[in-house]
């Protein structure tokens, strides 16, 4: 976690390119409408959805096809110009923060469905296609794409690949990495590689999972082959209220311990439900300290059996209220409240900061109690929404950036949440990525040897370090400056790491 945008500035050792010559060269590669150069045109690209960090690039290229991506990367590779690939800009870790000496390569215009095969249950799409649009296109065949981040109405599949996104149904159906069959990727020097395929032993399969979640550091994805699933015949949701947050966390662990894998298992605390209910009207129990949303899907018989089993477990663990959706409209209304948590936070606070850590399920109650203590310590409110089934927490810290010192307190609050996640045996991110935001926390979680391995992988794909520099993996020197890593006596930062 950084304390300001100036503390950890990404790789400014790249020399400033001759902007005039660079723009002239780019203009020969793409149409005039695909090249943005004025300050007014560049301003919308100065940040992603984490708006605390902003920076203008030299230019933005709106690529329209793979050929343009190849040409632009080859040019920037030859000139030594950093490139930050960008999708829909919905990321929450400043992963698409521009480089002051580089360009932003937007893939938002590459949004075609190239192939849909209902028999093989797969779709081949360009990276700019919206997550929800995949399911909309497949719906006529009774199919859908399972990963469903809260931002699925806007986020792109290329961004999902970069961050390994999940969503409320990831417990049963997996993250992006479990639903992508193949990728077509352009490396920084313009080489095109293909990873994965329909066959289990397809060339590059062993590198597919490495590319997914690599946050734009290794290559630029230009084509994605996704797995489609049949729509469940039916689905129902239990809405359970608890008078105690710790009991809600225990109930989550008990559901999983019973061998049940709900389609979705989400937790919201009272602050979150009270923010969401006036916005959505989901029918939440506003007197409950926490609510759980537990969904079962499948055949009618399977759903009935699983709902009964989960209901018994929730009652046994102290649920004070229980409702089961009686229609598809009611089911969607229950989920609408959970998916509207972020915009609901925006209605009650000038700014909010969404954290993203993951902890063992058994510690959900402990983490919520710890966050409550942090609210008092930092004098800031926090709404808590969890992908409870896999322990992925998304605390929304409420603050006002116009009040001196509040942003700094917010960042310290977020850093402490991540530190606590590590102490509880978890990790500093679940699906939002590290980006620029969590570089300091990377120093706390990983050893110097582990960071050297990460950088070695980066060098193997991008020796010049031009793709999204200064993101995701900090240098050892930076960790030492932050005082976050215990370096063994006599151990010095690897000299080759300092350029990244």
| For residue 13, pLDDT beyond 70 | no
Residue in 59, 84, 61 with CA at minimum distance from that of residue 72? 61
Average pLDDT over residues 182-207: 90
Domains and CATH numbers, the chain: 19-106 (3.30.43.10), 113-230 (3.30.465.10), 234-338 (3.30.70.2190), 439-499 (no CATH)
Residue in 47, 457, 432, 11 with CA at minimum distance from that of residue 215? 432
Q: Could you give the percent of the chain with pLDDT greater than 70?
A: 94
* Residue 3: predicted pLDDT: 36
* Residue 7: predicted pLDDT: 32
| For residue 494, pLDDT beyond 70 | no
Q: What is the pLDDT of residues 421-480, one digit of tens each?
A: 999 999 999 999 999 999 999 999 999 999 999 999 999 999 999 999 999 999 888 888
DSSP H helical ranges for 43-123: 66-79
Higher pLDDT, 13 or 58: 58
* Residue 11: predicted pLDDT: 44
Nearest-angstrom CA–CA distance, 116 and 101: 40
pLDDT, the chain, mean? 92
In the structure, what pLDDT confidence band is assigned to residue 499 with cuts at 50, 70 and 90? Answer: very low
Neighbours of 410 (CB within 10 A): 24
* Residue 205: predicted pLDDT: 78
Do you know the residue count of the chain? Answer: 500
| For residue 490, pLDDT beyond 60 | no
* Residue 15: predicted pLDDT: 80
Q: What is the pLDDT of residues 348-397, one digit of tens each?
A: 999 999 999 999 988 988 998 999 999 999 999 999 999 999 999 999 99
* Residue 12: predicted pLDDT: 52
Angle ∠(393,394,398) on CA atoms, nearest 5? 140
Residue with tokens 């949701």: 237
In the structure, what pLDDT confidence band is assigned to residue 17 with cuts at 50, 70 and 90? Answer: confident
Please list, in sequence order, all residues whose beta carbon lies within 8 angstroms of the beta carbon of residue 116, skipping any fewer than 6 positions away.
122, 123, 124, 137, 138, 141
Residue with tokens 């010192």: 405
Q: Answer whether 247's CB lies under 8 Å from 254's CB.
A: no
Of 15-29, 61-75, 309-323, the least confident: 15-29
- Please name the helix (run of DSSP H) or strand (run of DSSP E) that holds residue 450, with its range, or none: helix 448-461
Average pLDDT over residues 160-166: 97
Q: What is the pLDDT of residues 103-154, one digit of tens each?
A: 999 999 999 999 999 999 999 999 999 999 999 999 999 999 999 998 999 9
- Is the pTM value of this prediction over 0.75? yes
Show the beta-strand stretches assigned E in 299-456.
Answer: 319-324, 351-354, 357-358, 382-387, 392-399
In the structure, what pLDDT confidence band is assigned to residue 488 with cuts at 50, 70 and 90? Answer: very low
Q: Answer whether 68's CB lies under 8 Å from 29's CB.
A: yes
Nearest-angstrom CA–CA distance, 342 and 149: 12
Q: What is the pLDDT of residues 300-341, one digit of tens each?
A: 999 999 999 999 999 999 999 999 999 999 999 999 999 999
Please list, in sequence order, all residues whose beta carbon lies within 8 angstroms of the beta carbon of residue 370, skipping any fewer than 6 positions away.
420
Locate 345 and state its tokens.
């936070």
Average pLDDT over residues 164-168: 93
Higher pLDDT, 171 or 3: 171
What is the β-pairing status of strands 229-230 and 264-269? unpaired
Average pLDDT over residues 409-432: 96
* Residue 492: predicted pLDDT: 34
Neighbours of 493 (CB within 10 A): 18
Residue with tokens 């949440």: 417
Higher pLDDT, 490 or 464: 464
């Amino acid at each position: 976690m950084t304390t300001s945008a100036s503390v950890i500035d990404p790789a400014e050792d790249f020399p400033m390119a001759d902007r005039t010559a660079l723009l002239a060269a780019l203009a020969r590669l793409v149409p005039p409408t695909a090249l943005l150069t004025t300050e007014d045109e560049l301003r919308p690209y100065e940040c992603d959805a984490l708006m605390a960090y902003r920076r203008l690039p030299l230019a933005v290229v709106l690529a329209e096809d793979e050929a343009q991506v190849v040409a632009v990367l080859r040019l920037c590779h030859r000139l030594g110009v950093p490139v930050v690939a960008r999708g829909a800009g919905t990321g929450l870790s400043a992963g698409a923060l521009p480089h002051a000496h580089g360009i932003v390569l937007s893939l938002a215009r590459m949004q075609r469905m190239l192939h849909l095969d209902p028999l093989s249950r797969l779709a081949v799409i360009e990276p700019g296609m919206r997550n929800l649009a995949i399911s909309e296109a497949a719906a006529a065949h009774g199919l859908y794409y399972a990963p469903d981040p809260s931002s699925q109405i806007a986020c792109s599949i290329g961004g999902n690949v970069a961050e390994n996104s999940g969503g409320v149904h990831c417990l049963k159906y997996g993250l992006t990495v479990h639903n992508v069959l193949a990728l077509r990727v352009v490396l920084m020097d313009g080489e095109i590689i293909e990873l994965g395929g329909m066959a289990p032993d397809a060339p590059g399969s062993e590198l597919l999972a490495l590319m997914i979640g690599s946050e734009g550091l290794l290559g630029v994805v230009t084509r994605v082959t996704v797995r489609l699933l049949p729509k469940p015949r039916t689905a129902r949701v239990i809405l359970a209220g608890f008078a105690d947050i710790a009991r809600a966390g225990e109930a989550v662990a008990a559901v999983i311990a019973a061998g049940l894998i709900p389609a979705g298992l989400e937790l919201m605390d009272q602050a979150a439900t009270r923010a969401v209910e006036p916005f959505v009207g989901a029918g939440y129990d506003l007197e409950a300290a926490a609510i759980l949303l537990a969904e079962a899907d499948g055949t009618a018989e399977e759903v009935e059996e699983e709902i009964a089993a989960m209901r018994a477990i929730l009652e046994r663990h102290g649920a004070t209220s229980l409702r089961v959706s009686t229609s598809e409209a009611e089911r969607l209304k229950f989920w609408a409240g959970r998916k509207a948590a972020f915009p609901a936070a925006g209605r009650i606070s000038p700014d909010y900061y969404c954290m993203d850590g993951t902890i063992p399920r058994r510690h959900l109650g402990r983490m919520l109690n710890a966050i409550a203590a942090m609210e008092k310590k930092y004098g800031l409110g926090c709404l808590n929404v969890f992908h409870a089934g896999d322990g992925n927490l998304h605390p929304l810290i409420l603050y006002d950036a116009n009040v001196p010192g509040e942003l700094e307190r917010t960042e310290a609050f977020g850093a402490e949440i991540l530190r606590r996640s590590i102490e509880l045996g978890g990790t500093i991110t679940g699906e939002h990525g590290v980006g620029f935001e969590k570089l300091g926390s990377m120093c706390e979680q990983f050893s110097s040897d582990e960071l050297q391995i990460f950088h070695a992988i980066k060098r193997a794909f991008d020796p010049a370090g031009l793709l999204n520099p200064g993101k995701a993996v900090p240098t050892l020197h930076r960790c030492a400056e932050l005082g976050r890593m215990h370096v063994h006596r006599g151990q010095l930062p690897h000299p080759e790491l300092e350029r990244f």
